Amino acid sequence: MPDGLQTDDHLLTTVEALEAHYGTPLDRSIWKEQDHLTEHYRALVEASPFAILATAGPEGLDCSPRGDPTGFVSVLDPKTVAIPDRPGNNRVDSLKNIVRDPRIALLFLMPGIGYTMRINGRARISIDPELLEKFPVHGKLPRSVILVTVESAYFQCPKAVVRAKLWEPDSRVDPDSLPTMGEMLAFYAPQPVDAEKFDREYPEHMKKVMY
């Protein structure tokens, strides 16, 4: 075990210890937080084609990506946003969590923009036909809609995105340097999987089942 991890002597285990170590929060980190979506915050949500959705349940935590055409998350009013849930692998981990623990957190990214948008609140799941009809893509409706009541909303400064060089072309990862989806499935599956065939056919398959 690396030096410094052999004992608990250097662990921060209380709020008081954290505050003593990190100091006082910046004023702007406090007053930027609102209990609803302001005009500015609404604009950020509507400019995002990608969000990360975090939930909690009896089995633990879950963090799931959500993406669609820009503005896919609809701001119904300053306290409510609606997220269409598209077809997936049917694990529905996030949805299982929501029906047992409504707490939810959202992180919105906007390509080319450094700062991000965050929403914390409580969620419920609707299959109201009239609501589903508001979210067609290519003539296909979502399986359900996640309705989020906003409890806190604020933008996050761009430090993390800048450190990661997330939007810089030189930071793009060479796909050949990573295992393919087919290779990983072939490794983990209990039955034989033709990795090369999977990787060759999956892009066309994805087009058919994405919506």
Q: What are the per-10-residue average pLDDT scores of the chain (211 residues)?
A: 66 94 88 96 98 96 96 97 94 96 98 97 98 95 97 96 96 96 97 96 93 91
Question: Which pLDDT belongs to residue 28?
Answer: 85
* 130 and 183 both lie in a single domain: no
pLDDT recorded at residue 25: 85
Domain assignment of residue 187, given as a range:
173-209
Number of Cβ atoms within 10 Å of the Cβ of 211: 15
Q: Which residues pair with 53 in a beta bridge?
A: 64, 106
In terms of domains, do 85 and 132 share one? yes
**Amino acid found at 101:** D
Q: Are residues 188 and 155 in the same domain?
A: no
CB neighbours (10 Å) of residue 179?
11
**Residue-level pLDDT at 6:** 61
pLDDT at residue 15, rounded to an integer: 94
The pTM of this model reads 0.91
CA angle 132, 46, 120 (to 5 degrees): 85
Q: What is the pLDDT of residue 123?
A: 98
Closest to 100 measured CA to CA, from 54, 50, 57, 129: 57
How many independent structural domains does the chain possess? 2
Determine, yes or no, domain membership for 1.
Answer: no
Domain membership of residue 7 (yes or no) is: no
- Letter string b/e over residues 69-89, b meaning 16 or more CB atoms within 10 A of that residue's CB: eeebbbbeebeebbbbbbeee
**Per-residue three-class SS string for 33-99:** CECCCCHHHHHHHHCCCEEEEEEEECCEEEEEEEECCCCCCEEEECCEEEEEECCCCCCCHHHHHHH
Residue 149, both tokens: 């009541």
